Structure 1
Amino acid sequence: MFARAVFAFLALPGVVAFLVPVAWLWMADRPAAQPIGLLPLVLGMAGLLCCVRDFYVSGEGTLAPWAPPKRLVVSGLYRFSRNPMYVSVALILLGWAITFASGGLLAYALVVMVAFHVRVVRGEEPWLARTFGEDWVRYARRVRRWL
């Protein structure tokens, strides 16, 4: 399962939060402009790694839809947000945009955040309700969707 977790990390947030922004910056040949952008970038990376670990350890699964957690993950950052992994990716993307003063990366970050919201509301939350039943309902009442 560890190999699947690593693959899922590289294939999903790895592409969205790292490969696309780095390719964008490489093609634009932009020098770093605002070191303050490193703060959300690093916080997002730390949060993402914590969430992936929680999915693997507490949930006995991965962040990938083809190998989801077997148990509802409510520990770690999931005590404060129902979607800290998406919040972390958004922070990473905003960090890239700020660090490199890129309007294009800011627009990309906003599009990704809207896509995350739609995915959560229309796909993940109904699946979680069907899969985890009353545990999910209690958790959703107690913890906010985003922040």
Structure 2
Amino acid sequence: MPRDRTAAALGSSLFFALAPGVVAGVIPWAITGWSGSGWPVPGAVVTALAAAVLIHAFVRFVIEGIGTPAPVAPTQQLVIGGLYRWVRNPMYIAVVSCVLGQAAMFGSLALLEYALALMVVFFSFVRWYEEPALTRQFGAEYEAYRRAVPGWFPRARPARVPPATS
């Protein structure tokens, strides 16, 4: 039975609070207490821009994919619009960027190390779980998308990827 967008929005909101909310909010707070001296303005700008990217990516999952980023409630359609035309993993990049922004704001070497560890975990998860799962779910459509759009370093121009089929 297909999920509707309301259920997708609710599920995505819950997942947003539990996953990026904890990883890019609660854990950095636990590490720093959100205190320290660093570069508050540049760090805040990076954090805010990364949060905007993250929100955009979650919205794409609801509107375009009719599902959530959570592996337990995946999308019905492959999400290839918006920022996903430039890079395949904007959510992971945004979460790491949020942590890096906070590392700059608070001058925290511990948050910098945490961000690097997150990148290793995210890269491994994408490589060993997410890409095979998307290949199984979307087949040739995902493989064409994967060839057209880089995983981690955004294209200079958006890819011309045909819209996902119903």
Matched with 1:137 is 143
CA-CA distance at 1:142 after TM superposition: 0.3
CA-CA distance at 1:93 after TM superposition: 0.8
Matched with 1:30 is 35
Cα distance between partner residues in 1 of 2:107 and 2:38: 6
Q: Which runs of structure 2 are paired with 1:45-60 in the superposition (5 Å)?
A: 45-60=51-66
Question: Pick from 5, 9, 12: which aligns with 1:5?
Answer: 12
Write 1 or 2 for the structure with the bigger share of helix.
1
After superposition, the C-alpha distances for 1:87-124 in whole angstroms (9 at most, x for unaligned) are: 11111010011111100000000000100000000000
Matched with 1:125 is 131
Q: After TM superposition, what 4+ stretches of structure 1 lie above 4 angstroms from structure 2?
A: none
Q: Which runs of structure 2 are paired with 1:90-101 in the superposition (5 Å)?
A: 90-101=96-107
Cα distance between partner residues in 2 of 1:112 and 1:123: 16
Q: Note if 1:17 corresponds to 2:19.
A: no
Cα distance between partner residues in 2 of 1:123 and 1:3: 24
After superposition, the C-alpha distances for 1:3-35 in whole angstroms (9 at most, x for unaligned) are: 222111101111101111112221xx6334212
- Number of corresponding residues: 145
Cα distance between partner residues in 2 of 1:141 and 1:96: 33
Cα distance between partner residues in 2 of 1:121 and 1:140: 12
Q: CA RMSD in A?
A: 1.1
Moved more, 30-39 or 46-55: 30-39
Structure 2, unmatched stretches of 5+, are: 1-6, 154-166
Q: Percent identity?
A: 39
Cα distance between partner residues in 1 of 2:83 and 2:73: 21
Cα distance between partner residues in 1 of 2:37 and 2:92: 25
Question: Pick from 86, 89, 92: which aligns with 1:83?
Answer: 89
- Is the CA contact (8 Å cut-off) linking 2:36 and 2:108 kept in structure 1? no
Question: Pick from 75, 79, 96: which aligns with 1:73?
Answer: 79
